[in-house]
Amino acid sequence: MNKNVLSLLLGIMGLFILYKIYDLSNQPDFKQEKIKKGDVVVAPVTTKPNDELNRSTSHFIYTKHARCRMDCRHIDESEVKEILREGKINYAKSQYQNTDNPKYAVEGWSHDNQHLRIVFAPAEDAVVVVTCIDLETEFECHCPGDEHKN
């Protein structure tokens, strides 16, 4: 009789574990949507209801690296503000968990029809622009630190 009770308990625990795995896989952090231009899928982007990014800030701090990348890729401040305000966070490209310095990769289309990813870092009463990337066009850049890349 002890073996039957043990088998029943193990079976119930197994079903519970399977249910939890199923439940976790349906959480919002695991769902992905695709951004498309025409028929081309360009990047998986997940949605998350709350983030630490102040999208309504009027104060921006640009790193030297961001300014250099903006110059190389013909991105102006109005496009940076536009992407912050209207873009979607690509959590797969962001560093926001288990860190005191989160960075959010925000993607979208600018009014100049550039498909951009801009990395923002929240700061007190401001947002830091870390870097700017054109997702469709490869530009030649010679920003400080590029010589160390392969």
Q: Do residues 60 and 120 share a domain?
A: yes
Q: What is the mean pLDDT of residues 16-40?
A: 55
Q: How many domains does the chain have?
A: 2
Q: How do residues 81-96 score in pLDDT, each as one tens digit?
A: 999 999 999 999 999 8
Residue-range definition of the domain harbouring residue 9: 1-30
Specify the pLDDT at position 103.
95
141 and 95 in a common domain: yes
Q: Are 130 and 71 contained in the same domain? A: yes
Cβ proximity of 109 and 116 under 8 Å = yes
The pLDDT of residue 36 is above 50? no
Confidence bin at 112 (pLDDT 50/70/90): very high
Query: pTM of the prediction?
Result: 0.65
Measured CA to CA in angstroms, residue 133 lies from 32, 63, 107, 149 at distances of: 21, 14, 9, 16
- State mean pLDDT over 126-146: 90
5 and 68 inside one domain: no
Spatial distance between the Cα atoms of 89 and 145, rounded to a whole number of angstroms? 26
Determine the Cα–Cα distance for residues 37 and 43; give it in Å rounded to an integer: 11
82 plus 48 within the same structural domain: yes
The answer to whether residues 46 and 91 touch, using CB atoms and an 8 Å cutoff, is: yes
25 & 41 share domain: no
